Amino acid sequence: MARIAMVGTGYVGLVTGVVFAELGHEVVGVDLLRERVARINRGEPPIHEDGLAELMARNVPERFRATTDIAEAMDGAAFVFIAVGTPSREDGSIDLSHVERASADIAPNLRPGQIVVVKSTVVPGTTRDVVRPILKRGAPDPGSVRLAMVPEFLREGIAVRDAMSPGRIVIGAEDRSVASAVAALFTGTDAPVLVTDPTTAEAIKYASNTLLALKISYANEIGALCEDLGIDVYRVMEGVGMDPRMSRYFLNAGLGFGGSCLPKDTRALRAVFADRGLEPLLLDALHAVNDRQALRAVSSLDGLLGGLRGKRVAVMGVAFKANTDDVRETRAVPVIMGLLQRGAEVVVHDPIASNNLREMYRMDVAFATTAREALEGSDAVVLQTDWPEYSELDASAFEKMRGRVVYDGRRALSATQVTFLRGRGFTVFLHGAGVQ
Ligand code: UGA
């Protein structure tokens, strides 16, 4: 079992670190935020993630603890992971300042034999051209710097499960011995391992997220056509996905993709193309389709309600997807903004993400504490997140609405609910299928 220093205890660092602890390694997380470090050491998860609290309860403090002191964390560690954030800059390109700072902080504490592993999502070439030079400049023994790049493929909401049994592990290393040392860390996960050079590993991450985003935007494009034809895109994609060359995953049409990864990474890749004088035609198109999804929903609602001015619309679910309280780049924001711009009054509900929305975005909306309360007196409802609790809402909750328009932007309702509501005279609009 190895000792690991994990620089950055945000989403990726915390989940990866705690899962390494669960696999038997001894992990010390490093963060600049004192409050976060104290919280982790009390065994309290600072983010909502299924299974994380249980894993922390089992591993803190014996195999997982946090500190603000990087030198202490690195002392005796065989591996030093860089798992800090790589946000978007104003123009969509990647902001590497946290990665640069972490590298500069690591360098003077680096001892021969220690392996630095870049886990943050970084554009191709970063490990070789940014991290390596910073480490070499600051390390007491520049000749002994050993580096790897291991992209992460965790999905929020089920990140612990993804980390315990990953679909694949990609290890970008400059030499074989580094690759096999890093591979040994994952013993116990039995995932297939692909060894590449660091730049290829970085590109695999972006190419993966972009293909996922492309699939979603493709399904959404076909969904617009399906609405017009009076057929259902879910049925179409069921047929498409049966071909093993395509797969049914990530063909769920809806309000579009959000979250901290797909929007950010596809934008960063677009900036890399532009930087190199290449034209990112497909990347531009997938963004255009994604941006249009929310607007299409607002226009359809406008049509269904005969104008939105003065209408009360309940937006159900503000998290960017179910099982998370993350609202970064959530499609709820363009939907709400569109509704407000057309004069609607908006009430929102989410089982756990409302506070985050309130803190992150200033919008003139009312917050309901229960789904029923949001529906009461509303002219229309938009299902924005496919929270399981919405598929369990019984008819009496909808009967409390003032109007009769239900817009399912995520196929959050069950088939039984849809049939029932239609039977009661509700207009149920399914994104990518229409009213039918
Ligand atoms: C995504 C990737 O799925 C992970 O593999 C990757 O590790 C991660 O980004 C990352 O780069 O860190 P995540 O952002 O957590 O994970 O969420 P996804 O499940 O991919 O969903 C992203 C968005 O696409 C959500 O808004 C979701 O509602 C939407 N989506 C997803 C669809 O609209 N349709 C689909 O069929 C699937």
365 closest CA partner among 376, 353, 375, 357: 357
Query: 30 φ, ψ to 5°?
Result: -120, 130
Q: Is the CB of 120 under 6 A from ligand 1?
A: no
| Residue 326 Cα: closest atom of ligand 1 | 15
* Model pLDDT, residue 31: 96
Measured over the CA atoms of residue 114, residue 115, residue 116 and residue 117, the dihedral's sign is: negative
342: exposed, middle or buried (Cβ count in 10 Å: 0-12, 13-18, 19+): middle
Q: Is the CB of 10 under 6 A from ligand 1?
A: no
Q: Is the CB of 79 under 6 A from ligand 1?
A: no
* Model pLDDT, residue 127: 98
139: left (phi > 0), else alpha (psi -120 to 50), else beta?
Answer: beta
* Model pLDDT, residue 101: 98
Q: How remote is the CA of residue 312 from the centroid of ligand 1, in Å?
A: 30
- Order of strands across the sheet that contains 366-367: 366-367, 345-349, 312-316, 380-383, 405-408, 427-430
Identity of residue 102? A
Positions marked active-site: 261
Cis previous bond, 46, omega within 30: no
Report how far residue 413's alpha carbon sits from residue 246's, in angstroms, rounded to the nearest whole number. 26
* Model pLDDT, residue 347: 98
Pairing label, strands 3-7, 79-82: parallel
* Model pLDDT, residue 436: 78
How far CA 132 is from CA of 126, 145, 228, in Å, comes to 8, 8, 53
Q: Is the CB of 420 under 6 A from ligand 1?
A: no
* Model pLDDT, residue 186: 92
> Which residue's CA is the closest to the ligand 1 atom numbered 13?
155
How far CA 269 is from CA of 86, 126, 210, 213, in Å, comes to 13, 13, 8, 12
Please give the chain's pLDDT, 436 residues, in tens: 999 999 999 989 999 999 999 999 999 999 999 999 999 999 999 988 999 999 999 999 999 999 999 999 999 999 999 999 999 999 999 999 999 999 999 999 999 999 999 999 999 999 999 999 999 999 999 999 999 999 999 998 898 888 888 999 999 999 999 999 999 999 888 899 999 999 999 999 999 999 999 999 999 999 999 999 999 999 999 999 999 999 999 999 999 999 989 999 999 999 999 999 999 999 999 999 999 999 999 999 999 999 999 999 999 999 999 999 999 999 999 999 999 999 999 999 999 999 999 999 999 999 999 999 999 999 999 999 999 999 999 888 999 999 999 999 999 999 999 999 999 999 999 999 999 7
Q: Is the CB of 258 under 6 A from ligand 1?
A: yes
CB atoms within 10 A of CB 310: 10
Measured over the CA atoms of residue 49, residue 116, residue 82 and residue 151, the dihedral's sign is: negative
Q: How remote is the CA of residue 215 from the centroid of ligand 1, in Å?
A: 11
